[in-house]
Chains A and B, each alone.
Chain A
Amino acid sequence: MLKINNIEVIYSDVILVLRGVSLEIEQGKIVTVLGANGAGKTTTLKAISGLLRTQEGDITRGSIELDGQRIDKLSPEEIVRRGIIQVLEGRRLFSHLTVEENLQVGAIPSGVSRAKERENIEMVYNYFPRLKDMSRKTSGYLSGGEQQMVVISRGLMAQPRLMLLDEPSIGLAPMLVNEIFEIIKKINQESGVTILLVEQNARVALDIADYAYVMENGRVVLDGPADQLAENEDIKEFYLGLTQVGERKSYRDVKHYKRRKRWLG
């Protein structure tokens, strides 16, 4: 469905951030991109959604194709109209607007009738029943988890085929993270929305994803089916925080350390 071919992204004409990133996302799947702070995950999403330009970023090499058509020169609203919506990092919402108004804003680019809009709002309330009771509340005063629900719902209102989620788990309690990720999975299965999920919380992301990429320093350093990556020793140690307890320090640790350096350096 979406193919990123070896793109290079430069900010402000000098800062090279992506150094040849290639991703492929299959229709109907959940694909996750893992990586530490500053790896270039958000930049990758903004390259897809066309928002790079507002940050003075440029795709200087490579191409992005949606169903075989290049989209890397299109404006953000045109890309939304083609069915790709990005849910920004940090649960940014229109904090002065009510919950329901936020959802209505989401429906603007789809140009659907008011009746259809109503139907879609009920559909997202089905996924997030909690929002229904708060529909008239000013969204800025909701809790962090509720706000994350609002921004995902707003994304759904555009009737996307592909949703780009940027760290939806950030700053939320583990229980809530599980709840929201369950719902993301449900949205994927029931509505058939393809999902590209950027995360630092590898555990939950690998749990729901079909395929995963690991980014570091503006490059993809590892990729594979999510369940395989979850078994990968490096991923276990550096992303899942699991080390084999009681194992004696040995040459192996040194090797790991080196690998770690390669990854994070």
Chain B
Amino acid sequence: MNWELLPQSIINGILTGGVYGLIALGVVLIYKSSEVFNFAQGHLLMLGAFITWWFAGADETGEELLNLNLGFAVIAALIVIFLLGFLVERLALRPMTGQPLLSIVLMTLGMALLIEGLVSIVFGINVKPNFPAPISRIEMFKIPFEYQYNGIIFVQKLRLAAFLVAMFLVIVIGLFFRYTRIGLAMRATSEDHELALSAGINVPRIFGFSWAFAGVIATAGGVLLAMLTGASLTLSTVVLVAFPAILLGGFGIFPRGDHWWHCSWISYRNCQDIHRD
């Protein structure tokens, strides 16, 4: 191993890791609200990226497709996946209420296969390299650093922007859960379904919202990644990479004071130990 490549890898790792952190939030969101581990989360992400590409990107030959403005395309994709999230909860999850958890989780696995199949039929199985991006992929900041091979660390501007956008979204989501009523209702529901029902919260609707928001978060993460790598079916596997981020999230990201973060996102037990005062 060439240690002189390490600084560059660390920088890239941190920047991409920020996006993974955002993606992990989507999985945790559904898991915490309804205890379902959603195996289709990566596929929602991939689907969101493909829809954005279809709205605003160009195919392999460089020919434009629908040729929408990138901003519009992203918003349109977010809306589509938001509605799809609701629909999935309504049509696939809710009828399974009361079934063993394993069946429900396996159903999400089936859904993953379904999305993968549909995407490959509609968009084809090859990588879409011409994913639109606001900044060219080859623009770099060059930072002199003597321990790096060649003495320069390259920071891809687009990657840095993706990192900043992801961090911004994580903060916005945090504020959303902290200060909005629906965010509060979701935190309450994640703790105790029956209690939430008794308090007059429409719990099925909250599940619907969880899926819709999870889809939105997935799409945001998928678009950020696809800008860096192009849209491809393998995007769905990043959720596996994001999994460690889910585990780490409980310990490092936000310090003590922000107990809701630990408590409602990660695990009951962490919360009890860390926040006993």
Residues of A within 8 A of B (CB): 49, 51, 54, 75-77, 80-81, 85-88, 92-97, 101, 104-106, 108-110, 138, 140-141, 154, 158
User: Which 10 A-B residue pairings sit nearest by Cβ, starting from the closest?
Assistant: A109-B200, A80-B200, A96-B263, A105-B188, A76-B197, A77-B202, A77-B200, A94-B188, A92-B195, A94-B191
CB neighbors of A among B177-230 (8 A) = 181, 184-185, 187-188, 191-202
Residues of A contacting B184 with CB < 8 Å? Answer: 97, 101, 104-105, 108
Q: How far is the CA of A87 from the CA of B276 in the complex (A)?
A: 26
Q: Could you tell me if B200 and A158 are in contact, using CB atoms closer than 8 angstroms?
A: yes
Known: A76-B198, A77-B201. 7 other contacts (CB 8 A): A88-B194, A96-B259, A96-B264, A97-B260, A104-B181, A105-B188, A108-B184
Give chain B interface residues in 251-273, CB to chain A under 8 Å: 259-260, 263-264, 268, 271-272
Is the CB of B146 closer than 8 A to any CB of chain A? Answer: no
Closest to B202 in A: A77
DSSP majority for the A interface? helix
A77 surroundings in chain B (CB, below 8 A) = 197, 200-202
With an 8 A cutoff between CB atoms, is B277 at the interface?
yes
Q: Quick check: A108 and B271 within 8 Å, CB to CB? A: no
- Find the A residue at minimum CB distance from B178: A101
B2 to chain A, nearest CB (A): 47
B137 contacts partner chain A, Cβ-Cβ < 8 Å: no
B142 touches A (CB below 8 Å):
no
**Contact at A51–B200, with CB atoms within 8 Å?**
no
Contact status A105-B264, CB under 8 Å: no
Decide if A158 touches B199 in the complex (CB within 8 Å): yes
Chain B residues in 8 Å Cβ range of A141: 275-277
Which residue, of A96, A140, A141, has the highest number of chain B Cβ atoms within 10 A? A96
| A109 to B260 CA separation, bound complex (whole angstroms) | 22
Residues of A within 8 A of B185 (CB): 105, 108
Q: Are A108 and B192 in contact (CB under 8 A)?
A: no
Chain B residue contacts of A93, Cβ below 8 A: 195
Most buried by A among B181, B196, B198, B201: B198
Cβ of B202 and Cβ of A92 under 8 Å apart? no
CA distance A51 to B193 in the complex (A): 11
**Across the interface, which residues of B come within 8 angstroms of A54, CB to CB?**
193-194, 197
Can you list 21 pairs linking A and B with CB atoms under 8 Å apart?
A: A54-B194, A76-B197, A77-B201, A77-B202, A81-B200, A88-B195, A88-B198, A92-B192, A92-B195, A96-B187, A96-B263, A104-B181, A105-B184, A108-B181, A108-B185, A109-B201, A110-B200, A141-B275, A141-B276, A154-B199, A158-B199
Among B201, B259, B263, B277, contact of A105 (Cβ-Cβ < 8 Å): B201
Name B199's contact: one of A95, A96, A105 (CB within 8 Å).
A105
CA distance A154 to B202 in the complex (A): 16
> Is the beta-carbon distance between A97 and B193 smaller than 8 angstroms?
no
CA distance A51 to B196 in the complex (A): 11
Assembly CA distance A51 to B192 (angstroms): 13
What residues of B have a CB within 8 angstroms of the CB of A76 in the complex? 197-198, 200
Residues of A within 8 A of B276 (CB): 141
Tell whether, in the assembled complex, residue A138 and residue B199 are in contact, meaning their CB atoms are under 8 Å apart. Answer: no
A94 and B192 within 8 A (CB): yes
Neighbouring B residues of A106 by C-beta, 8 Å: 199
Contacting residues, chain A, for B191 (C-beta < 8 A): 94-97
Out of B181, B187, B198, which one reaches A97, CB within 8 Å? B187
Given contacts A54-B193, A96-B263, A96-B264, contact A86 B187 (CB under 8 A): no
User: With A97-B187, A105-B188 known to touch, is A49 a contact of B201 (CB < 8 Å)?
Assistant: no
Smallest CB–CB gap between B32 and chain A, Å? Answer: 11
Residue of B nearest to A166 (CB): B198
What is the bound-complex CA distance between A109 and B185, given in angstroms?
10
